[in-house]
Structure 1
Amino acid sequence: MEIMRSEACIWLILITAVLLVYWQVGDHEFINYDDNVYITDNAQVQKGLTSNGIIWAFTTSHTGNWHPLTWISHMLDCELYGLNPGGHHLTNVLLHMANAILLFVVLRWMTGAIWRSGLVAALFALHPLHVESVAWAAERKDVLSTFFWMLTMVAYVHYVNRPGGKRYFLVLVTFFLGLMAKPMLVTLPFVLLLLDYWPLNRFKPRAVTGSVEDQPLGFRSFGDDKSPILKAVMEKTPLFLMSLFSCVVTVMAQQEAGAISTLEIVPFKLRIANGLVSFVAYMGKMVWPLDLAVFYPHPVSDLQIWKPVAAGLFLLIVSTVVLLVAQRCRYVLVGWLWYLGTLVPVIGLVQVGEQAMADRYTYVPLIGLFIVVVWGFADLVKGWRSRRWVVSVSAAVMVLALMAGSWLQVAHWKNSVKLFKHALDATSNNYVAHYNLGNALALQGKLTGAVSHYNKALQINPNFAEAHNNLGNALALQGNLTGAVSHYNKALQINPDHAEAHLNLAVGLDRQGKHQEAIQHYAEVLRISPHDAQSHNNLGVALAEQGRLKEAVAHFTEALRIDPNFKEAQRNLDLSLGLMHKSSAGSDGKTR
């Protein structure tokens, strides 16, 4: 009865604390960084749950990922809430809450340690580093995939408790569902091997920690086998094969999207150096979670050599200490390898995107360090007379401090302006933050501020084609058409296949009366994006203005084929056909 009361108390604490910290997201807006790609500018998602949408979710590599369950979850939110951002954010909060509870349940089941498991779950639920995964609507893939990660762990412990084909099949199903939400789960089979070592104790018939709580009964052991580790690996072969499949699909999708940086852009030595620094930086932010930002610029050639050397030395020292205490405190080895291993896919060896690191990447990896901290602290004070008082006060202070830090961090995600202003305060040389803040200000009509931030982004990164394009848009709205055309041209010098820059340049040239040049750029847009109805319409208008009505009619017709409800294209088609008819009638009259 006492155990049930303790478990119920922990559930209540987790639910209440998460709601207190994250309830404010109900009033938050969508962010102009990926939320548009996933939700606000995504026609497939906005239609809600449809058969065509579900087929699209399973067949698209849009955003450089194959994660059909993530797409379907966004569609379901649009079905329920439309484009009300509060509903989308609430779903993330509920999933995060479920993840914290499932983490507590599975740790409690494996170790028998109620309050230690509860504190690990609380650290996971309330740490400021995890705010990004929850408060950012586009990061649904984090909280959703982790939900299936936790379910897979629950299913695995269920299987280990009483092995059987049906129970193992449940492990496979939950794992594959997780991979369809985000490929981050590729490291989960490795984590299950760690759990076999501790706390499931499958390599030895009895635990060596000496703690009753660390000796759960009923789990199948490999202790009597000659090669227990090999047998454990073989048991997980289907999971490793599924991970391999997910890795191949993900790399193909990211290459198709052009998201993977080449070795010429980010050399392999720099990737290793930045990875070493990131391992240590995440640990530092776990202990002192200040200056958190939505984007951390990659140092590229600016990484000082002492940083990776110091980071590598630090990691070596910590790993040595871990090995020295591993026999006596096996949770230390498991937690440390959990942290290192689950970060490998996102540490930057395969550089995806322009960031050096990201808070969201710590969502699952930090669980390993939380286990080390909580179990280690419990062992440290084991012989103290005032142990219960010390542990209770320390846990309460830690939880309250994390709640306060996370509440403040969640507030920064109120809207794009607040988010990127905070990113600029927390980092230096952040051209992405300047660019997105410029976008947010431009949307509010604050063009002077937008132009200022676009220019600052370009001072840091002169080869930022998107910033040139959007600076051109802001200048055009200010009436500076010459400046706008100049920046559109610069964007195209950097990226000749930038369809939007071609379109904007064509419109600008049209307004300058340079119709023939405009037609060339409209044609380039259609070469790059042949199914762009708006560009077919624009090219048709430019052709019609030059008297090339037959060609114009062809493009208006194609625009309507792509989008039958395109009223402007229909009006232009009717007008052009009318002009052609008048021209034909006039010619017939002269002939007679």
Structure 2
Amino acid sequence: MAKKHKHKAQPVTPAPAKEQPVADTTQPSQQPALFALFLMILAAAVYALSVKNGFVFFDDDKAILYNQALQNPSLGKFFSGQNLGMYAPISWIGYWIGSMISGKEAWGYHLLGLIFHSINAGVAYLLLRQIIQRHWPAFFAAALFAVHPVQVEAVSWAAALSTVLFSTFYLLGALAYVQWKQRTTPLYYGLSITAFVLACLAKSAAVTLPLVLLAIDAYQARKWDWKFVVNKIPFFAFSLVFGVYTFMTRAQEGHDIEATSAVFSTLDRFWMVCQTVLFYPVKLLVPVSFSIAYPFVKTGGSWPWTYYAAPVVLAGLAFIIWKKGRSNADLLLGLAIYLLPLSVMLPFRTVGSFELRSDRYVYISCLGLFLLLALLVEKMKPVQRYGVLVGIVAVFGFLSFQQTKAWKDGIALFSNCVDKTPEAALCQCNLAYSELLSLKFEESAYHYSEALKYDPNTVEAYNGRGQAYFNLKKIPEALDDFTNAIQAGLVSPKLFLNRGKCLVMLNRSQEAIPDLDRSIELESQAPEAFYFRAVAYEKSGMPDRALQDYNRAVELNPSYLEALVNRALILMGLQQFEAAVSDYSRAIQLNPGMAMLYNNRAYANLKNGQPGNALEDVNQAIAIDPNYARAYQTRAVINQSLGKMDQVQADMQTVQRLQQGG
């Protein structure tokens, strides 16, 4: 037999262990609610200064101060009317709550904006965490959402309360839907639909939520399935209703003021849409040169080169994503969250009076890009992540704090806009309007002229500059501007009133009457229009018609001092002295320090057979203004009727001395 060889037993060497991923020590053991609360506090701290800002008369006036639904508010008025071509009763309720907090001051609206933005920061974190099932990128993305300066506009603008308010319901609707997918509890599905409807009732931009929910389904299933559409049918039904209704009302609003709308061709809009899709990511990654508006401005009939390059860049990015990234679910989710909410804000067509890009349009969409950035940072080591998070949040928070100051008031805001884009007529025009409201008429006229220089089609600038000229007593120049505005197609009761006033002041009263008729036809409750038409009638030798209009002016505004005085003068001419005394008495109650009123009532009392009362009145006129020569003349007439000739002589000597400047 062959000898068997014994083999020495070899020591067992353990196989090399497979490389384990570095433990993520950043995963929290605490409840997500604590991190959401932290983000809410962070957002409130960064934007706290916004509460000190005032109103900005760029929608704040139309959306809030002059919103008919907020005049004698009721649920019926909130849910049955429109404003600026929009149906947004939930936002109007928000504005009403703001007015209940601070009255006619702006801080109540800003406080609500701050509160809802803080809530949105917390909900954004909870939503992203539920979708991607990872804490770190969800927290990082929500932190950027909370403090990025692109959010300043939505938080610091009173009228933009509608943006943060609809976003709250939008995010809550998405969160409830994800909860329903996980728990299959009908309650969450019902809450999701309810929140979605409330979001649409706050702002029609919410109609994109069903598309975002489809993207969430596809992300979590890692595939597309047409079955995802079935449970979205109620969502799409509401989207269709709100979308069609809004399209109709906004288009009508744009048509009503078509004279102020820029005209862009289909090709123009192609360049505009492509450039806008790239504009916001650049603004988010390089957060500088923020403005209330970024108008589309051509130079010499051509777009800047970035517009022509945008389609090429987008095509390249789409090709890369198709070849390399279509299997990357995180990438596709981030792009969907960015593009889908933004889609209704892209300039495919005009639904208002002008085209622009605005920071608030990307309020929700920015979450998608922030998520992509967070997913990139997630690949870093934990310590590096913390450094990047703290550094970026600190820088963005500081920039937001500084940018909030630009919203102090309209002049500060649009001065910033003009500094950034002086060639934008929109910025020039709104700065001029803010200056007009602040009684800075020279500056206002200058910036309206600049608006017309850069864009002669900004015909609203004629109306504004006309008002500035009118207040500067440049009546012929004002008349020319009002005429240009009317010839360009602008129609408003104030515009026809202003041209009528100019014609009256230039002693062209008969020419003024048709304009004042048109103003009253457009707005039958404006006392000033009746007053100036009365003046025009009076100067045209029609006292009876003048009296009727003065009566209407006083009826609409019982405190209309000028109308009371002028009506009293007509009544004197008609020998209705007692009625004239009554009007002068009401005028004196309104302005007891005006010597002329006492003098005129003295004369009316004298004619009404009350010389004693007349003497008291004229003495009061002289007590108010000892150098009022006409009062001494009136007193001389009264004393003459009383037979006090020595006093008559003394008063006439005083009149002579005053007239000679003695």
Q: Same fold (TM over 0.5)?
A: yes
Q: Quick check: 1:454–1:468 contact (8 Å CA) kept in 2?
A: yes
Whole-Å separation in 1 of the counterparts to 2:332 and 2:420: 33
1:137 is paired with a residue of what secondary structure? coil
Q: Quick check: 2:36–2:123 contact (8 Å CA) kept in 1?
A: no
Structure 1 alignment gaps of length 5 or more: 205-227, 382-386, 586-592
After TM superposition, the structure 1 stretch with the greater mean CA deviation from structure 2, 167-176 or 95-104, is 167-176
Match of 2:627 in 1: none
Whole-Å separation in 1 of the counterparts to 2:246 and 2:553: 33
Match of 1:207 in 2: none
**Distance apart, 1:552 and its partner CA:** 4.2
2:356 is paired with a residue of what secondary structure? strand
After TM superposition, the structure 1 stretch with the greater mean CA deviation from structure 2, 112-121 or 1-10, is 1-10
* Residue 122 to residue 258, structure 1, CA distance change in 2 (3 Å): same
Match of 2:437 in 1: 443
2:420 to 426, 449, 456: 426
* Residue 8 to residue 42, structure 1, CA distance change in 2 (3 Å): closer
Amino acid at match of 1:376: L
User: Number of matched residues?
Assistant: 549
Match of 1:351 in 2: 350
Match of 2:268 in 1: 270
Match of 1:370 in 2: 370
Q: Quick check: 1:549–1:576 contact (8 Å CA) kept in 2?
A: no
Match of 2:113 in 1: 92
Whole-Å separation in 1 of the counterparts to 2:537 and 2:469: 26
After TM superposition, the structure 1 stretch with the greater mean CA deviation from structure 2, 304-313 or 342-351, is 304-313
Q: Deviations over 1:245-276 (max 9, x none)?
A: 11111112112222696999221221121010
Match of 2:144 in 1: 123
Amino acid at match of 1:17: L
Superposed, 1:329-478 pairs within 5 Å as: 329-352=328-351, 353-378=353-378, 380-381=379-380, 387-478=381-472
Whole-Å separation in 2 of the counterparts to 1:564 and 1:444: 25
1:29 is paired with a residue of what secondary structure? coil
Whole-Å separation in 2 of the counterparts to 1:552 and 1:250: 45
2:407 is paired with a residue of what secondary structure? coil
1:73 is paired with a residue of what secondary structure? helix
Whole-Å separation in 2 of the counterparts to 1:175 and 1:333: 23
Match of 1:229 in 2: 225
**Distance apart, 1:165 and its partner CA:** 4.1
**Distance apart, 1:573 and its partner CA:** 10
Whole-Å separation in 2 of the counterparts to 1:110 and 1:149: 15
Match of 2:280 in 1: 282
2:287 is paired with a residue of what secondary structure? coil
Q: Quick check: 2:334–2:368 contact (8 Å CA) kept in 1?
A: yes
Q: Deviations over 1:338-367 (max 9, x none)?
A: 222222111100223323311111111111
Superposed, 1:155-170 pairs within 5 Å as: 155-170=176-191
Q: Quick check: 2:554–2:564 contact (8 Å CA) kept in 1?
A: no
**Distance apart, 1:483 and its partner CA:** 1.2
1:61 is paired with a residue of what secondary structure? coil
* Alignment pair present for 1:39 and 2:64: yes
Match of 1:141 in 2: 162
Q: Quick check: 1:556–1:572 contact (8 Å CA) kept in 2?
A: no
Q: Deviations over 1:469-512 (max 9, x none)?
A: 22122222222111111111111111252432211111111111
2:204 to 155, 159, 183: 183
* Residue 46 to residue 23, structure 1, CA distance change in 2 (3 Å): farther
**Distance apart, 1:558 and its partner CA:** 5.6
Amino acid at match of 2:241: F
Amino acid at match of 1:280: L
Whole-Å separation in 2 of the counterparts to 1:564 and 1:487: 29
Q: Deviations over 1:113-148 (max 9, x none)?
A: 222211111111111111111111111111000001
Whole-Å separation in 1 of the counterparts to 2:546 and 2:199: 49
Q: Quick check: 1:15–1:97 contact (8 Å CA) kept in 2?
A: yes
Match of 2:236 in 1: 240
* Alignment pair present for 1:69 and 2:63: no
Whole-Å separation in 2 of the counterparts to 1:141 and 1:232: 30
Q: Quick check: 1:560–1:569 contact (8 Å CA) kept in 2?
A: no
**Distance apart, 1:446 and its partner CA:** 2.7
2:423 is paired with a residue of what secondary structure? coil
Whole-Å separation in 2 of the counterparts to 1:311 and 1:462: 28
Q: Quick check: 1:270–1:300 contact (8 Å CA) kept in 2?
A: no
* Residue 470 to residue 62, structure 1, CA distance change in 2 (3 Å): same
**Distance apart, 1:111 and its partner CA:** 2.9
Match of 2:498 in 1: 504
Q: Quick check: 2:157–2:407 contact (8 Å CA) kept in 1?
A: yes
Whole-Å separation in 2 of the counterparts to 1:4 and 1:45: 47
Q: Deviations over 1:424-458 (max 9, x none)?
A: 12124121222222222233333222221111111
Q: TM-score, normalised on structure 2?
A: 0.77
Q: Quick check: 1:186–1:247 contact (8 Å CA) kept in 2?
A: yes
Whole-Å separation in 2 of the counterparts to 1:368 and 1:332: 9
Q: Quick check: 1:465–1:492 contact (8 Å CA) kept in 2?
A: no
2:291 is paired with a residue of what secondary structure? coil
Q: Quick check: 2:41–2:118 contact (8 Å CA) kept in 1?
A: no
Q: Quick check: 1:159–1:167 contact (8 Å CA) kept in 2?
A: yes
Whole-Å separation in 2 of the counterparts to 1:80 and 1:307: 46
Larger radius of gyration: 2
Whole-Å separation in 1 of the counterparts to 2:374 and 2:511: 67
After TM superposition, the structure 1 stretch with the greater mean CA deviation from structure 2, 575-584 or 59-68, is 575-584
1:400 is paired with a residue of what secondary structure? helix
**Distance apart, 1:234 and its partner CA:** 1.9
**Distance apart, 1:300 and its partner CA:** 5.4
Q: Quick check: 2:210–2:232 contact (8 Å CA) kept in 1?
A: yes
Q: Which has the higher contact order (CA 8 A, sep 6+)?
A: 1
2:79 to 50, 53, 58: 58
Amino acid at match of 1:106: L
**Distance apart, 1:572 and its partner CA:** 7.6
2:225 is paired with a residue of what secondary structure? helix
* Residue 56 to residue 303, structure 1, CA distance change in 2 (3 Å): farther
Superposed, 1:480-559 pairs within 5 Å as: 480-552=474-546, 555=549
Match of 2:40 in 1: 15
Amino acid at match of 2:278: V
Amino acid at match of 2:407: W
Amino acid at match of 1:313: V
1:257 is paired with a residue of what secondary structure? helix
Root-mean-square deviation (CA, aligned residues, Å) is 2.9
* Residue 319 to residue 418, structure 1, CA distance change in 2 (3 Å): same
Q: Quick check: 2:530–2:553 contact (8 Å CA) kept in 1?
A: yes
Amino acid at match of 1:505: R
* Residue 86 to residue 229, structure 1, CA distance change in 2 (3 Å): same
Structure 2 alignment gaps of length 5 or more: 1-25, 579-662
* Residue 14 to residue 496, structure 1, CA distance change in 2 (3 Å): closer
Amino acid at match of 2:376: G
1:534 is paired with a residue of what secondary structure? helix
Whole-Å separation in 1 of the counterparts to 2:197 and 2:553: 40
Match of 1:223 in 2: none
Match of 2:297 in 1: 299
Q: Quick check: 2:527–2:557 contact (8 Å CA) kept in 1?
A: no
Whole-Å separation in 1 of the counterparts to 2:258 and 2:191: 37
Q: Deviations over 1:504-548 (max 9, x none)?
A: 111111111111111111012123334444323432343344343
Match of 2:642 in 1: none
Q: Quick check: 1:556–1:569 contact (8 Å CA) kept in 2?
A: no
Amino acid at match of 2:236: F
Q: Deviations over 1:562-588 (max 9, x none)?
A: x47565698489759947974899xxx
Q: TM-score, normalised on structure 1?
A: 0.86
Q: Quick check: 1:553–1:576 contact (8 Å CA) kept in 2?
A: no
Amino acid at match of 2:80: T
Q: Quick check: 1:271–1:348 contact (8 Å CA) kept in 2?
A: yes
Whole-Å separation in 2 of the counterparts to 1:363 and 1:98: 14
